[in-house]
Amino acid sequence: MLRVPASVVRIETRAAALLLDMDGTLVDSHAVVERLWTQWSLDHGVDPAQTLGIIHGRQGQDSMALLLPDRPHEINLAENAELLAAETAQTDGVVAIPGAADLLAALDREGVPYALVTSATTELAAARMRVAGLPMPPVVIAAGDVSRSKPDPEGFLAGAAALGVDAARCIVVEDSANGIAAGLAAGMRVIGIGAGAAAAAPTWTVADARGIHVSRDADGGAVVTLD
């Protein structure tokens, strides 16, 4: 029986810069994150499913505040520091998302401005990117650089400002609902990565970073092609 391949829809757009999330977008750290947060949940009498439903893309102390709303903020900060230390030390199983290395290489090769915008600390981001074999982007907006974490748009707006580009001309690359919401709230277009991204209504979706291609047009502008 002759099988006709499904048609591939290619999307081409322009951007001044790309703002990239890390976990779930460039790096797969799913196993260690869920293991540590599941244990934290069990230690505090919280349903792990509830915890895992809100933590992705959000800073830890903010997740704790949602899960244990009556607890002092200082305790959340202290416990999140412990969790971050554990996440930084436990890198077994952390690998690059398919296509991440090629995407970063293309951004550098084509001279497209880009930044990492992550809810991780700078130390945690460096550890995970190193273990995954990925270079740190030239501009990094990490947890310590913002006062409000995703889904607040502060991080992405800070990324655009650090690159010196118009926020409205940036494209965000994100996997989590919190991150996608932050990008949209910043007035940016958002490429959602992964099977769960579509539910958060990003501008476009791709399976992984292999579906994102960057180049320069004849006028020197950045071209982003999705497939």
Q: Where in the sequence numbering do the catalytic residues fall? A: 21, 23
Inter-residue contact 156 to 188 (CB < 8 Å): yes
If one counts every other C-beta atom within 10 angstroms of the C-beta of residue 198, the result is: 12
- Residue 216 Cα to chain centre, angstroms: 24
* 210 CB-contact burial (10 Å; exposed 0-12 / middle 13-18 / buried 19+): middle
C-alpha–C-alpha distance, residues 56 and 77, integer Å? 17
C-alpha–C-alpha distance, residues 210 and 226, integer Å? 9
Q: How far apart are the first and last CA of the chain?
A: 27
